[in-house]
Amino acid sequence: MTLTHSVFKFKGQISHYQGKVRDVYSVENGLLVMVASDRISAFDVVLPEGIPFKGQVLNQTAVYFLNATRDIVPNWLIHSPDPVVSIGTKAVPFKVEMVIRAHLSGHAWREYKDGKRTICGLNMPNGMNENDPFPSPLITPTTKAELGMHDEDISKDAILKNGIVSESDYVQLENFTLSLFRRGQEMAKERGLILVDTKYEFGKTLEGNIMLIDEVHTSDSSRYFYSDGFEERQNNGVKQIQLSKEFVREWLIENGFQGKEGQVIPKMNREWIQSISERYIELYERITGLHFEPAKDNPTKRIQSNVDLYLTQYSK
């Protein structure tokens, strides 16, 4: 049973917001309840079919990495009372997402292939092939789009010039981004993977402290390659073996969809949906080293019960 839509009424609930993938509930005591649905998005469009266990994979992967990076930067997570739910501290999000790229892949490669040699004001060397590593990782921020809009590349200079983030805060965001990415690369290497690129979102608490929010190093926010045979494949011009959502984007492109006006989302058959689910689970097990235990009971009743129980205990 997939969870593609949720309308809960939790104890002390103040408001509800539906993102592309997560449903976010604001409750009393300055808390957020984040429910990871089984929706899947690509090119900033939510696809019509849900992916079994995707929400559970995303939530449990994010929890794993939030706990593993707490020594680098404070984060919003307090507790995960359910396989698809995280509860944490409310913060005011910065209006940029901090994307960091160690390789010429995905969006950066598509820009490069079209002849561009700069991204977010940063130079990309001539003569690179798809998936080649950059001399050093590039931080390529994007604007944080409103619902239904597309994220857009933006340079550091434009962020500062337009007052989107103060210079002192942006320097801190850059430092956190580099440190988190190094940790992610180290953890991936231990599991036989390469963390190719990822994005981080940050916010400020009411006290003015910067914290890491949302998901971290998941298959929706990150791209991973298998490290075994990477250089050989690269030298021979062979497609890299990857664990990320990019294969969904590639399938959509092959079927004539990139989220542009007038394009029709291709229909996903049952076998393709199952394949996506299996690849999400594979990434979770590979990157964490943990066995995935699918939650197969009714998600709506379980979530309502588990969240209400935690919130009752928290308020005591």
Specify the range with the lowest mean pLDDT, choosing from 64-68, 73-77, 196-200, 281-285: 281-285
For residue 149, the model assigns a pLDDT of 53
Same domain membership, residue 100 and residue 86: no
User: How many structural domains are present in the chain?
Assistant: 2
Give the domain extent around 291.
13-92+273-314
Same domain membership, residue 99 and residue 86: no
> Where residue 80 sits, what CATH number does that domain have?
3.30.200.20
Q: To the nearest whole number, what is the mean pLDDT of the chain?
A: 93
Q: Give the pLDDT band (50/70/90) at residue 146.
A: low
179-228: per-residue pLDDT in tens? 999 999 999 999 999 999 999 999 999 899 999 999 999 988 999 999 99
Same domain membership, residue 152 and residue 236: yes
pTM above 0.85, yes or no: yes
DSSP class per residue in the chain: ----------TTEEEEEE-SSEEEEEETTTEEEEEE-S--EETTEE-SS--TTHHHHHHHHHHHHHHHSTTTS-BSEEEEEETTEEEEE--EE-SEEEEEEEES-HHHHHHHHTT--EETTEE--TT--TTPEEEEEEE--EE-PPTTS---B--HHHHHHTTSS-HHHHHHHHHHHHHHHHHHHHHHHHTTEEEEEEEEEEEE-TTS-EEEES--S-TTTEEEEE-TTHHHHHHTTPPPPEEETHHHHHHHHHTT-SS-TT--PPPPPHHHHHHHHHHHHHHHHHHH-PPP----S-HHHHHHHHHHHHHHHHT-
